[in-house]
Amino acid sequence: MSTKPRIRVPDTAKVGEVIEVKTLISHIMETGQRKDRDGKPIPRNIINTFTATFNGKEVFKVDLQPGISANPYMAFHMRVPGPGDLELSWLDDSGAKIVEKVKINVS
């Protein structure tokens, strides 16, 4: 969890409009099913929670399982109640957390 996630939102939105938010983060999403060369299982390390909150209110949340591909891509929607900050956070099994904020501009 070192590289910056990529987030795409429309440049501007109207109040009440439903916009699509696309996110991509690089993460190995180790399933815990694989074994290393010595036959020892490689411990699971996946992003287990993704949360999107707008002005402090939770809009969308995902509980991820090992069945989600490496470098998880998430595209979801939200209704824009007005201008504000969209906060996105990714939490992995090791406890590492990445939080990103994007401004939603209202035209």
Partner 1 sequence: MKDFISLEAINRRDLLLGFGVAGAAVVLLAGVPAQAQADDSWEAALKKVVGDAKPIEGKITLDMPEIAENGNTVPFSVSVDSPMTEQEFVKAVHVFSTGNPQPVVATFHFSPQSGKAAVSSRMRLAKTQDIVCVAELSDGQFALAKRTVKVTIGGCGG
Interface with partner 1, residue 38, by CB under 8 A: no
Quick count: other Cβ atoms within 10 Å of Cβ 105? 13
Give residue for tokens 């990714």: 90
Interface with partner 1, residue 47, by CB under 8 A: no
Residue count, binding to partner 1 (CB under 8 A): 30
Q: Which stretch binds partner 1 (CB under 8 A): 1-9, 60-68, 89-97, 99-107?
A: 60-68
Report how far residue 7's alpha carbon sits from residue 49's, in angstroms, rounded to the nearest whole number. 17
C-alpha R_g of the chain = 16
Tell me which residues touch partner 1 (CB under 8 A).
18-19, 31, 33-35, 54, 57-70, 72-79, 81
